[in-house]
Chains A and B, each alone.
Chain A
Amino acid sequence: MSQIQPGTWVEIEQVVLTPAQRAPTLPEDTKGVPYVMRVSGFLVEPAELGGPARIRTMIGRELAGTLMTVNPSYSHSFGATVPELLTIGLRPNEEAGR
Chain B
Amino acid sequence: MTNLPFYRSTARDTSYAAVMARKNEIMKASMGIDYDDFIWSPIAFDYERMMAETGYSYADIVRIQRETKVGDTPLHELRNLTEAVRRIAPPGKGARILVKDEAANASGSFKARRASISAYEAAKKGYRGVIAATSGNYGAAVASQAAQRGLKCIIVQEVFDSRGVGQPEIVEKSRACEAYGAEVLRLTVGPELFYVHLRTLEETGFFNASLYTPFGIRGVETLGVEIAEQVRARYGQDPDAVCITHAGGGNLTGTARGLLAAGCDRTRIVACSVDLSGLHMASDRDFNRKSFTTGHTGFGVPFATWPDRADVPRNAARPLRYMDEYQLVTQGEVFYVTELLTKLEGLERGPAGNTSLTAAVTLARQMDREQIVVVQETEYTGAGKHHNSQLAFARENGIEVRRGAPADNVPGKAIVIPERLDQVWGKVQDMDHLRLSYLKNAAKAYPVERWSESDVAFLAADLKVDPDWVRQHAG
Contacts and interface: CB of A to CB of B under 8 A. Distances in A.
B343 A17 contact: no
A84 B414 CA distance: 14
Given A36-B187, A76-B383, A79-B391, A27 B181 contact: no
B190 A96 contact: no
A59 interface: yes
Nearest to A39: B185
B393 A16 contact: no
Interface stretch (B295-303, B333-341, B460-468): B333-341
A97 to B, nearest CB: 5
B392 A82 contact: yes
A73 B378 CA distance: 28
Among B174, B178, B388, which residue has the most Cβ atoms of chain A within 10 A?
A: B388
A33 B1 contact: no
A61 B417 contact: no
Interface stretch (B38-46, B282-290, B314-322): B282-290
Contact of B172 (A33, A35, A76, A90): A76
Contact of A37 (B6, B16, B84, B189): B6
Contact of A33 (B152, B188, B191, B196): B188
Nearest to A18: B1
Given A30-B283, A81-B388, A23 B195 contact: yes
Interface residues of A, number: 52
Contacts of B204: 61
A60 to B, nearest CB: 7
A82 B442 CA distance: 46
A70 interface: no
Interface in A2-26: 14-17, 21-23, 26
Contact of A82 (B84, B172, B388): B388
B206 to A, nearest CB: 10
Nearest to B189: A30
B171 interface: yes
A85 interface: yes
Interface centre among B1, B84, B342 (most CB of A within 10 A): B1
Nearest to A64: B4
A33 B8 contact: no
A89 B159 CA distance: 33
A79 B192 contact: no
Interface string A62-98: 1111100000001011111110110011101111111
A38 to B, nearest CB: 5
Interface in B334-377: 335-336, 339-340, 342-344
B154 interface: yes
Given A59-B152, A59-B153, A79 B168 contact: yes
Contact of B183 (A39, A65, A95): A39
B66 interface: no
B402 A84 contact: yes
B444 interface: no
Given A33-B162, A97-B421, A77 B186 contact: no
A90 B185 CA distance: 43
A80 B395 CA distance: 9
Interface string B144-187: 00000000111000011010001010011011001001111111
Contacts of A38: 159-160, 186-187
B246 interface: no
B384 interface: yes
B182 A59 contact: yes
B266 interface: no
Contacts of B5: 64
Contact of A63 (B6, B391, B392): B6
Given A58-B182, A64-B6, A27 B282 contact: yes
Given A52-B2, A82-B395, A92 B189 contact: no
B16 A59 contact: no
Contact of B283 (A27, A35, A76, A96): A27
Contacts of B125: none
B401 interface: yes
Nearest to B7: A63
Contacts of B280: 27
B126 to A, nearest CB: 17
Contacts of A89: 339-340, 342-344
Contacts of B192: 16-17, 22-23, 35
B284 to A, nearest CB: 4
11 contacts: A16-B196, A21-B15, A39-B183, A76-B175, A76-B384, A77-B383, A78-B383, A81-B388, A82-B388, A82-B391, A92-B344
Given A26-B190, A30-B189, A37-B187, 6 more contacts: A30-B284, A33-B162, A40-B178, A79-B393, A85-B339, A92-B80
